[in-house]
Amino acid sequence: MATPTPVTLHGSCHCGRVVFTVDTFTPYPYMVCHCNTDTKTAGLGTANIMGEAKTLAVGGRDPSALKVYRASKASRDRAPPATLPLHPSADAVAGLAAEESPEHLSTHQRHFCGHCGTALWAFDERWPDWVYPFAIAIDAPLLPAVPPADQVHICLDFRRAYGPHIPDGVPESQRFAHYPVESIEGWHKKRGLYGTWKPEAQ
């Protein structure tokens, strides 16, 4: 059996202030997330891949533009069609500080460019060995396509009706109301795709 080989990914934000590289053994963007937080912050139908955290390098024209967002558990769990008031009550405003206190924030850290707003990667202290780049942030090499039969769609309890069409070829067993048990690494290994991708010269 061949030794798994990582691929170095090159990513950036839209304005070019933040540029990053990261090595990955798991480059297939097979898992599409429909959760409330990803939809609001990164757009409909987002997909993350997984990179080795120790290899992450950040640069660009202005790396200080890199910002981090941690969703409060209240906002994370708010499902559509929840409507927020344009002019909230004084109690609601006062409650914001408590809602965003450290103990009420998700451990999931979404890194983005504070100038153009591009979602770049996520990190969670519960899994410190990995970072999770947004597929849309990767410039090169072009990530491999995933056929519907191998796609996984998650957090469908939060999916907007006008969201991207889920291909008919996605099996019901690969559609999840919340999260699947199978890991990103496990998905790749099950299909013989862990550390095996050889991108074409671009």
44-68: pLDDT as tens digits? 888 999 999 999 999 999 999 999 9
The mean predicted confidence, pLDDT, of the chain is: 90
The span from the CA of 193 to the CA of 128, in Å, is: 23
pLDDT band per the 50, 70, 90 thresholds, residue 186: very high
The verdict on pTM exceeding 0.85 is yes
The span from the CA of 187 to the CA of 159, in Å, is: 23
The domain segmentation of the chain, as residue ranges, is 7-79+95-190
Looking at the domain 7-79+95-190, which fold is it? 2.170.150
